[in-house]
């Protein structure tokens, strides 16, 4: 289809709304506000070292050093969405507490949760980065009373998301979205400044020969993860009977987009590196939105032990292990987690109680 004939994001959202005549249009407007903020962030990212940026170097609530563009991106998303009357509050990787909508603005019925610039450590080497967002319904009492939001208001399982997606800032800027009716991808047309629908029905292939994991952490992996990776690395002569390729970009948005377009599996599992952190990725604004996108595209997203969208959050910045991508591979990894491990199967029945054990 010629580029001029491709639908814009606005047209797509209007068509979706027509399927639900009772819809108010507030969700559409909020998604458009998020997309506008992402266009502005894309422009800043494209400037690279030419951008006039505030000083970075501060440490955020995650204990991670903030890049200047982390701060700028966070502010852009706030300023573009706070005024429209669609939000009751926001939460972000870069803010310790929920963000309250200023008193001069009308408050709405949705909550916006986001990672304003995922993979920002890659900016120095010009690797693709992105923004991740999730939209939830605010609890009824928040909407009815207009009270300030609390952390507890955001602690909803990922299955309750009404929309989620990401923007990818790479050779082209893309906006990938699900509103619970499949996954669609839009490419930014720089000539007119509009996102055009270029990927109308994105699907994750059920099978793959590609996996992504940070192998430098292998000494900390749990046995099921080590078993899975060892089998992949064994290739055609191993138990899987086929060769695998390994990829690692260290930018989850870029990893997710590759898997969404050609299949694969991504693992950032729970490990023993830091027992105080049961995973590296944040549940509310990384794992849940990416998990929602994957599930809507026919893939699977899991902690390794259970579907990630079923996890009830316990805190705003909760970390979790995450595995997502091609359905059959993720289900295999889950199965390995539930099967007895070799050291358990080979343990004599009374070894744990033996008086003669070492």
Q: What pLDDT digit, counting tens, does each position of 66-103 carry?
A: 788 999 999 999 999 999 999 999 999 999 999 999 99
147 φ, ψ (degrees, to nearest 5): -70, 165
Architecture of domain 210-343: 3-Layer(aba) Sandwich (3.40)
Domains 3-199 and 210-343 share a fold: no
Average pLDDT (301-317) is 97
Contact by Cβ (8 Å): 119, 130:
yes
Separation CA 31–CA 34 (nearest Å) = 5
Q: Are 280 and 268 in contact (CB under 8 A)?
A: yes
Is beta strand 173-178 parallel, antiparallel or unpaired with respect to 184-189? antiparallel
Query: What does the pLDDT read at residue 183?
Result: 98
Give strand pairing partners of 281: 320
pLDDT score at 59 = 67
Angle 147-149-150 from CA coordinates, rounded to 5°: 125
Q: Quick one: pLDDT at residue 24? A: 79
Position 154 pLDDT exceeds 60:
yes
* Per-residue pLDDT, 180: 94
Model confidence at 163, pLDDT cuts 50, 70, 90, reads: very high
Q: Is residue 292 classed as helix, strand or coil in its secondary structure?
A: helix
pLDDT band for position 4 (50/70/90)?
low
Q: What is the pLDDT of residue 67?
A: 83
H-helix or E-strand spanning residue 163: strand 163-169
Q: Report phi then psi at 164, rounded to 5.
A: -165, 165
User: What does the longest C-alpha to C-alpha distance in the chain come to?
Assistant: 79
For the chain, helix (H) and strand (E) counts, in that order, are 10, 15
Nearest to 93 by CA among 65, 119, 123, 62: 62
Cβ burial, residue 184 (10 Å; 0-12/13-18/19+): buried
- The residue assigned the tokens 């991740």 is 132
If one looks up domain 3-199 in CATH, what number appears?
Answer: 3.30.540.10
Residue spans of the domains in the chain: they are 3-199, 210-343
At 22 the pLDDT is 73
- Res 174 pLDDT > 50: yes
What are the φ/ψ torsions at residue 232 (nearest 5 degrees)?
A: -65, -45
Structure tokens that stand for 80 in this block: 């573009």
pLDDT in tens, 270-289: 999 988 888 999 999 999 99
* Amino acid 54: pLDDT: 62
Residue 203 has pLDDT above 80, yes or no: yes
DSSP state of 298: T
Percentage of residues in the chain with pLDDT exceeding 90? 79
Residue spans of alpha helices (H) in the chain: 9-18, 26-47, 68-81, 140-145, 151-154, 223-234, 252-262, 288-296, 327-338, 342-345
Question: Is the pLDDT at 234 greater than 50, yes or no?
Answer: yes
* Cα 201 to Cα 277: distance, rounded to the nearest angstrom: 36
Q: pLDDT confidence of 265, banded at 50, 70, 90? A: very high
């Amino acid at each position: 289809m010629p580029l001029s004939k491709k639908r814009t994001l606005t047209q797509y959202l209007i068509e979706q709304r027509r399927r639900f005549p009772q819809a108010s249009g507030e969700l559409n407007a909020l998604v458009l506000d998020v997309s506008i903020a992402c266009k502005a962030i894309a422009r800043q990212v494209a400037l690279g070292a030419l951008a006039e940026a505030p000083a970075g170097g501060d440490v955020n609530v995650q204990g991670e050093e903030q890049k200047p563009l982390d701060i700028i991106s966070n502010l852009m998303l706030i300023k573009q969405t706070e005024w429209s009357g669609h939000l009751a509050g926001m939460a972000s990787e870069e803010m310790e507490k929920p963000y309250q909508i200023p008193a001069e603005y009308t408050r709405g019925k949705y909550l916006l949760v986001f990672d304003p610039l995922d993979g920002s450590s890659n900016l120095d080497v010009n690797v693709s980065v992105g923004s991740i967002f999730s939209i939830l319904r605010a609890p009824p009492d928040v909407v009815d009373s207009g009270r300030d939001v609390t952390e507890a208001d955001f602690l909803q399982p990922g299955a309750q998301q009404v929309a989620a997606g990401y923007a990818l800032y790479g050779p082209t800027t893309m906006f990938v979205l699900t509103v619970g009716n499949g996954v669609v991808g839009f490419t930014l047309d720089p000539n007119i400044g509009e996102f055009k629908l270029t990927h109308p029905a994105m699907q994750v292939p059920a099978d793959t020969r590609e996996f992504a994991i940070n192998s430098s952490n292998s000494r900390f992996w749990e046995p099921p993860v080590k078993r899975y990776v060892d089998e992949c690395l064994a290739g055609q002569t191993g138990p899987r009977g086929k060769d695998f390729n390994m990829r690692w970009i260290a930018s989850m948005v870029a990893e997710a987009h590759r898997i969404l377009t050609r299949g694969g599996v991504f693992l950032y599992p729970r490990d023993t590196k830091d027992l105080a952190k049961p995973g590296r990725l944040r549940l509310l604004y990384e794992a849940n939105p990416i998990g929602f996108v994957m599930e809507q595209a026919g893939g699977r997203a899991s902690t390794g032990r259970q579907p990630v969208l079923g996890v009830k959050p316990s805190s705003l910045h909760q970390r979790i292990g995450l595995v997502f991508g091609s359905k059959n591979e993720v289900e295999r990894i889950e199965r390995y987690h539930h099967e007895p491990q070799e050291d358990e199967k080979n343990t004599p029945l009374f070894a744990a109680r033996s008086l003669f054990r070492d």
